[in-house]
Chain A
């Protein structure tokens, strides 16, 4: 077999690169991150040719040394040297796209230009002379229209041919005579240091005073000085720095090229202009934005998303579900009938008791399920004789107003006794849930109890809780994919930029935050749409500060138990989440890991077009797949460990949670939380730990530990009394604060790990979240205690110190900013004055 051929796809963002990559590789894609950075890395095998690997490079405008995507691309091209490059050029935006092309042609690797979206150009009435373009650039140019795969085969065929022939572009230096001469002089001095294939590239980069390539060259002092003199001479003559000379002259060359190859009849993209007149309009932009965001939230979190999540949690990973929902209506009717019958029985028994009859024997028979017992018949007879009549009020489900009253006499009572509880499996095609099937299976093979518990309570419950998010995530990915693909996402950043930039973030952070109020996991995945790496890492670190759906039971419990009359607790939780993100932004952007090279916020607002379902579905598939993989490895492991800790004692005997290793651990770590006001409640410490599986576990753990309850309702009403006896309001509020802000659940930690460049970043993110949660809860508790008359103590002092520390970190001048751009701002200001 021949050796594998590596072909790289390079091009501007929005040039249709993704569509071409998808068409070439199909579903053989592999998506990950470039080593050490959060820039997405995608590769795949050419359809039908296992020996050709297609490497998708980040969408970039230039090969400058300043942005991460550009550096990643440069390093790959120059060091890994693929066998050929397919440069995808958006023909409807030819001049700016060719700017990257001129740079790719200088690397010394065979290049084929795919002149993409040629259909758009033709439709506009413009014409491009492809043959002339190919002649002038010295490489093949193939017309493609990615939407219908036209010309793709031709392009890939050319690329393979060129790769085999090692046919590097026939391309000469394109700059002004003086600049070309300077570059040639530099080339003469570099000849001994670099290979001939790399010579042009290194000579131009050296002329540009590119620090990154300079680091790869070892030149004698003498040579360096000579080269510096050549550059300085040219700079003095042109009155600009060498880097800008090259950029300006590249565009000057392209302008000449355009005169020869592009015949323009139209005035550009009128459609996009018209849409933008409405969508980014001064008055309409914000209302439209609000509607779009509401729709995303509504569809992915409230309706379709939660419907699917409920199906996975209660159906697939619950008791079971009905195929296609058939028979559901009939089951619900039967269930309603049964409920009414039960209410009638209760009402009749109550009325009988009121009438002075002894109902104990009858109730015992009912509790035992013996509806045909003699005790019941005897009671019915007595009650009928006494003319007992009960009544059931039928309430409206929402308003709880009485709609109707049904009288219950002896005959109705007997009839009600005859109503059997409906079995869900009798209606429609019932598919039992995974736990039911597994437990039947394990019972059938007489599996040991501990193994059953491990499989059902540990693995299935844990992984099920995580996989429950997947359908919701898929819905969200589709919606975000549509926004990105059609061009609206860039407008979101444009509209919201002003609001977010003071926190070191940009407008695109709005979407992850919004989504995270439903669930942090898709919220974290939504950070993929942020291009700037530092900003993306910051978003990944802070997104889960938003109170997600699973944190609502905690809020409801604390608010209901300790602040029954106030309405501010729940809104405060959201406010605190937003404040924590803003505060983190302000603090973190001044720390070393988040200081990138300063770069201006210039962003293309791409032409609108219809979203392409194939792109969106493939992307959704890849991203979901990656998450599921994670769920089946690291997340599963974590839940198994926690299951073990909560089911066994140190002697490895199976016990209730109250006596488990986890409870011991809770007792041991509880004192850590004394400064937060709830160190005396080891149950709270255990709840915090079990919250790592899923935040709603906090409430159910409280149910088990405080009251021995098997099940607790959504707002934990059963616990309100115990809670208000055990916690002071301030301590409870501090507990809520800590649990809202500290490390999120395993699923979200898994998602953080996926979005971060390496484990160290994940650990740093989780540590930061826990630390901030601790500090804020401490400040609130200690200062709250002081204000409410608790006296000044060591805790108060610590709180004041920490508060001062936070304020300092937030308001201090950025220690890194000045060092990096010493002249930029003053130079501009001086210029304005002049």
Chain B
């Protein structure tokens, strides 16, 4: 199984499922990361974490630990 944590800058991936429970999962999904959403990985922050991603025509920052909860194709 592949997660968003393993995606490289420049990759465009499709979300299969969001893991985790309650607040963590809900928060990620509220931002629009739901099954089928397309995510483009833009870059890693200069100190190696977090990631900057693009989805639904906006950019957001997500820590690698949290990105590991997002299963991708």
Query: Which residue numbers of A lie inside 8 Å of B, CB to CB?
Result: 61-62, 64, 66-67, 92-93, 95-96, 99, 241, 243-244, 247-248, 251-252, 268-269, 272, 276, 280-283, 285-286, 490, 493-499, 501, 597-607, 821, 823-824, 827-828, 831-832, 834
Give the contacts of B48-73 with A (CB-CB under 8 A).
Answer: 48-50, 52, 56-63, 65-66, 68-69, 71
How far in angstroms is the closest Cβ of chain B from A304? 30
Give the contacts of B4-60 with A (CB-CB under 8 A).
Answer: 18-32, 34-35, 37, 42-50, 52, 56-60
> Which residues from B are CB-within-8-Å of A286?
46
> Which residues from B are CB-within-8-Å of A61?
30-31
Q: Choose among A66, A93, A95 the residue that contacts B27 (Cβ–Cβ < 8 A).
A: A66
How far in angstroms is the closest Cβ of chain A from B19? 6
> Which residues from B are CB-within-8-Å of A493?
61
8 contacts between A and B (CB under 8 A): A268-B57, A276-B52, A280-B46, A497-B50, A598-B24, A600-B24, A832-B1, A832-B3
A498 touches B59 (CB 8 A): no
A252 vs B15: C-alpha distance when bound (angstroms): 14
> Which residues from B are CB-within-8-Å of A598?
23-24
Q: A96-B58, A282-B46 are in contact. Are A824 and B52 (CB under 8 A)?
A: no
A61 vs B27: C-alpha distance when bound (angstroms): 9
> Which residues from B are CB-within-8-Å of A247?
26, 29-30, 34
Question: In chain A, what residue has the closest Cβ to B55?
Answer: A96
Question: In chain B, what residue has the closest Cβ to A498?
Answer: B47
Which residue among B22, B32, B60 has the maximum number of chain A CB atoms within 10 Å of its CB? B22
Question: In chain B, what residue has the closest Cβ to A490?
Answer: B61
A497 vs B65: C-alpha distance when bound (angstroms): 13
How far in angstroms is the closest Cβ of chain A from B28? 6
Q: A66-B22, A498-B47 are in contact. Are A602 and B58 (CB under 8 A)?
A: no
Q: A494-B61, A600-B62, A831-B1 are in contact. Are A248 and B35 (CB under 8 A)?
A: yes
B60 touches A834 (CB 8 A): no
B56 touches A821 (CB 8 A): no
A95 touches B20 (CB 8 A): no
Q: Choose among A62, A241, A490, A497 the residue that contacts B49 (Cβ–Cβ < 8 A).
A: A497
Q: Choose among A272, A280, A828 the residue that contacts B69 (Cβ–Cβ < 8 A).
A: A828
Q: Choose among B23, B42, B49, B66 the residue that contacts A66 (Cβ–Cβ < 8 A).
A: B23
How far in angstroms is the closest Cβ of chain B from A118? 15
A216 vs B34: C-alpha distance when bound (angstroms): 30
Query: Which residue numbers of B lie inside 8 Å of A, CB to CB?
Result: 1, 3, 18-32, 34-35, 37, 42-50, 52, 56-63, 65-66, 68-69, 71
> Which residues from A are CB-within-8-Å of B29?
244, 247-248
B63 touches A497 (CB 8 A): yes
Question: In chain A, what residue has the closest Cβ to B50?
Answer: A497
Question: In chain A, what residue has the closest Cβ to B17?
Answer: A240
A304 vs B46: C-alpha distance when bound (angstroms): 32
Other than A66-B22, A494-B45, give 15 A-B pairs with Cβ distance below 8 A: A64-B27, A95-B56, A96-B32, A248-B29, A276-B52, A281-B46, A282-B44, A498-B45, A599-B27, A604-B59, A605-B58, A605-B61, A606-B58, A607-B58, A831-B1
A431 vs B36: C-alpha distance when bound (angstroms): 70
Q: Choose among A248, A602, A831 the residue that contacts B60 (Cβ–Cβ < 8 A).
A: A602
> Which residues from B are CB-within-8-Å of A93?
56-58
How far in angstroms is the closest Cβ of chain A from B18? 7
A823 vs B23: C-alpha distance when bound (angstroms): 12
B28 touches A602 (CB 8 A): yes
A831 vs B56: C-alpha distance when bound (angstroms): 27
A599 touches B52 (CB 8 A): no
A831 vs B58: C-alpha distance when bound (angstroms): 29
Q: A602-B28, A602-B62 are in contact. Are A280 and B23 (CB under 8 A)?
A: no
Q: A61-B30, A494-B61 are in contact. Are A599 and B45 (CB under 8 A)?
A: no
A598 vs B26: C-alpha distance when bound (angstroms): 11
A600 touches B34 (CB 8 A): no
A761 vs B44: C-alpha distance when bound (angstroms): 37
A300 vs B26: C-alpha distance when bound (angstroms): 40
Q: Choose among A276, A497, A599 the residue that contacts B59 (Cβ–Cβ < 8 A).
A: A276
> Which residues from B are CB-within-8-Å of A824?
20-21, 24, 69
Which residue among A600, A603, A831 has the maximum number of chain B CB atoms within 10 Å of its CB? A600
Question: In chain A, what residue has the closest Cβ to B29?
Answer: A247
Q: A251-B32, A493-B61, A828-B69 are in contact. Are A244 and B18 (CB under 8 A)?
A: yes
Q: A276-B59, A605-B59, A828-B68 are in contact. Are A64 and B30 (CB under 8 A)?
A: yes
A601 touches B1 (CB 8 A): no
B61 touches A602 (CB 8 A): yes
B45 touches A285 (CB 8 A): yes
B45 touches A495 (CB 8 A): yes
B46 touches A495 (CB 8 A): yes
> Which residues from A are CB-within-8-Å of B21?
241, 821, 823-824, 827
> Which residues from B are CB-within-8-Å of A281?
43, 46
B24 touches A96 (CB 8 A): no
How far in angstroms is the closest Cβ of chain B from A605? 4
How far in angstroms is the closest Cβ of chain A from B9? 9
B31 touches A602 (CB 8 A): yes
> Which residues from B are CB-within-8-Å of A607?
58
How far in angstroms is the closest Cβ of chain B from A459? 49
Question: In chain B, what residue has the closest Cβ to A63?
Answer: B30
Q: Choose among B35, B45, B62, B71 the residue that contacts A280 (Cβ–Cβ < 8 A).
A: B45
The 8 closest A-B CB pairs, nearest first, are: A498-B47, A600-B66, A66-B23, A62-B30, A605-B59, A247-B29, A285-B46, A248-B34
> Which residues from B are CB-within-8-Å of A827?
19-21
A280 touches B49 (CB 8 A): no
A497 vs B71: C-alpha distance when bound (angstroms): 24
Which residue among A280, A496, A823, A828 has the maximum number of chain B CB atoms within 10 Å of its CB? A828
A604 touches B23 (CB 8 A): no
Which residue among B20, B27, B43, B49 has the maximum number of chain A CB atoms within 10 Å of its CB? B27
A252 vs B36: C-alpha distance when bound (angstroms): 9
B66 touches A95 (CB 8 A): no
> Which residues from B are CB-within-8-Å of A599?
23-24, 27
Question: In chain B, what residue has the closest Cβ to A827?
Answer: B19
> Which residues from A are CB-within-8-Å of B71?
831
How far in angstroms is the closest Cβ of chain B from A655? 59
